[in-house]
Amino acid sequence: MSDKTYQYKIGHWTLNPWTSELIHGNNKTHLQNQVAKVLVILIEANGKVISKKDLLEKAWEGAIVTENSLDKSISELRKILGDSRANPQYIETIPKKGYRLIAPLKKVELEESILPMIKKRSVFKWILLFLLLTISALAFFFNQNIRSKKILAPNGKTIASVKSDGSHYGLYTENIINGKVHKLDSFPKPESLVVNWSSDSNHIIYNTTLSKDDFYAINVLDLSTNNISYIKFSKNESKSIPYPNDLDSPPKFLEHKKLSKSDNTVHYIAYTNKDTIKVLFNDNVISDFKW
């Protein structure tokens, strides 16, 4: 973010980057983190057009989000500023290009008398943020098996997710454009929530391995046919595990080879003549798929 020893005059408003507050007279509005980042990026562009892609990359720092998140941030800024898309006074939409700040802009140095107070508040804010992040990280590691897992397709149109639906877990897809959600499969709680896409966005691969079983179970869903291929191999390679007899469709056995390095293991599985699925393990638990 910008140099926080300054504040910005934006039209009739003032932005204090230290506190992420927009001030107009006695009216003070605290901006949410991403909303504040979007505004500062527009300010630092100094009237130049910023593409949606650049705004998403800079404000969300590589996180997988859709343009809808950016549109909501822009809409929130306009609401606070009393601005409108049809008759913009602050943020102008440039069709098929992005956004730019059109309000008069002035950079003003903060008064020395208020800097110490702001800095103390900022230090406390960062300490609190660090503690929250630490707690969140611990919660993630202790509860990673009950969290949902979401992955955006390479074509950017659909999100695949594995999440709890009550007594079981399910594979879901969500259309980015219309928001429609479809449940494609249901299964008991897997020992790790892992899901990914094929490079052509036509297949979804997901983990259905149970902690109590002595074999790994992986499903591959073909979205063009809604058929599921079942991949299974022993957790203990010294013995062979027979395929369960209660599957709805015939099993599809696939050749694979194993590569081990330190605590990590990778299985290369030949899915078709052209495609190979790479299954990554960490401490003998599936951690990711690469197509």
Instruction: List pLDDT tens digits, range 248-273.
Output: 444 454 566 777 665 578 888 887 76
Q: Look at phi and psi of residue 217 and say left if phi exceeds 0, alpha if psi is from -120 to 50, else beta.
A: beta
CA 264 to chain centre: 25
Stretches where the chain sits below pLDDT 70 are 1-5, 110-126, 135-147, 237-256, 260-263, 273
Q: What is the pLDDT of residue 182?
A: 94
Q: What is the pTM of this model?
A: 0.47
pLDDT confidence of residue 240: 43
Residue 266: CB atoms within 10 A of its CB come to 15
Q: CB of 275 within 8 A of CB of 291?
A: yes
Q: Tell me what pLDDT residue 181 has.
A: 93
Q: Please answer whether residues 173 and 184 qualify as being in contact, where contact means their C-beta atoms are separated by less than 8 angstroms.
A: yes
The pLDDT, as a whole number, for residue 223 is: 94
Report pLDDT for 102. Answer: 93
Measured distance CA(248)–CA(246) in Å, rounded: 7
